[in-house]
């Protein structure tokens, strides 16, 4: 079964750091781009970052550039999101998603259940 | 950045009826548009990509159409399990990928 399981969320103070993890199983992790997508309480979906299969390309939404770092370990079938200088507006459920890039199409076909990050003093 | 808008914000429909959801892009995204369904407390689920291509396992009652800046998701005969929030997302110009604000389909 294809599965993504996020972990690492929690309560953190403004300015603090957190590292999210996503464990992949049931597919060849190293063959896929991967993304993080977040959803603030009661709000819509916001793409945060993605990373190429070999980690050589990474992209971010402007609001997290310089604060968040996406990475992966293909040997461990794992995706990560290092979040520094956290702000209240980063409070959200963070989803890990498998990306399918078949030109010109790029869509997210498998999603984890999410992990909750709360930034508050 | 391409801005996506969706209308209506909420659509009240009776089971068995047809639902038509709209999505608009601030500039052309060609046919590079996906639709996702999200139920309360669950992760999003891919329904449609390429504006009209159903994802694996998606029932035929879901159909997508449009190109350029105007798109439509149609649910032909609403089932009880279809009451959810639906998001459109463009992937023509990225980063960033951008989602619409969502349309909630609820029971009339």
Report pLDDT digits (tens) over A24-77: 999 999 999 999 999 999 999 999 999 999 999 999 999 999 999 999 999 999
In order along its 108 residues, chain B shows pLDDT tens digits of 999 999 999 999 999 999 999 999 999 999 999 999 999 999 999 999 999 999 999 999 999 999 999 999 999 999 999 999 999 999 999 999 999 999 999 988
Q: How many Å apart are CA B65 and CA B11, to the nearest integer?
A: 19
Cβ atoms within 10 Å of B55's Cβ, excluding its own: 18
Q: How many Å apart are CA A120 and CA A83, to the nearest integer?
A: 15
Torsion of CA A70, A23, A48, A17, to 10 degrees: -60
Residues of B in contact with A107 (CB under 8 A): 34, 46, 49, 55, 89, 91
| Strands across the sheet containing B62-67 | B4-7, B19-25, B70-75, B62-67
Residues of A in contact with B32 (CB under 8 A): 104-106
* Nearest chain B Cα distance for residue A12, angstroms: 22
Nearest of B77, B84, B74 to residue B54 by alpha carbon? B74
For testing contact with chain A, the best of B10, B40, B87, B96 (most A CBs within 10 A):
B96
CB A117 within 8 A of CB A12: yes
Half-sphere CA count of A100, side-chain side, radius 13 A: 16
* Nearest chain A Cα distance for residue B92, angstroms: 8
Partner-chain residue, chosen from B87, B91, B95, that has the shortest CB–CB distance to A61: B95
Residues in chain B: 108
Q: What's the distance, Cα to Cα, between the start and end of chain B in Å?
A: 36
Q: How many Å apart are CA B29 and CA A10, to the nearest integer?
A: 37
């Amino acid at each position: 079964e294809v599965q993504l399981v996020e972990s690492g969320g929690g309560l953190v103070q403004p300015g603090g750091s957190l590292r999210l993890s996503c464990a992949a199983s049931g597919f060849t992790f190293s063959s896929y781009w991967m993304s993080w997508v977040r959803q603030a309480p009661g709000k819509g979906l916001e793409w945060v970052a993605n990373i190429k299969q070999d980690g050589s390309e990474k992209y971010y939404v402007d609001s997290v550039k310089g604060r968040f770092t996406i990475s992966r370990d293909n040997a461990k079938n794992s995706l990560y999101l290092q979040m520094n200088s956290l702000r209240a507006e980063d409070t959200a459920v963070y989803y890990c998603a498998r990306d399918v890039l078949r030109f010109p199409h790029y869509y997210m076909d498998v999603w984890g259940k999410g992990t909750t990050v709360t930034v508050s003093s | 950045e391409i801005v996506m808008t969706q209308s209506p914000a909420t659509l009240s429909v009776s089971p068995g009826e047809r639902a038509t959801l709209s999505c608009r892009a601030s500039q052309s995204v060609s046919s590079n548009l996906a639709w996702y369904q999200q139920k309360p407390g669950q992760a999003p689920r891919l329904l449609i990509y390429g504006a009209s291509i159903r994802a694996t396992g998606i029932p035929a009652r879901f159909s997508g159409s449009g190109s350029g800046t105007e798109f439509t998701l149609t649910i032909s005969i609403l089932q009880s399990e279809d009451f959810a929030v639906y998001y459109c997302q463009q992937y023509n110009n990225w980063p960033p990928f951008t989602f619409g604000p969502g349309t909630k389909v609820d029971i009339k």
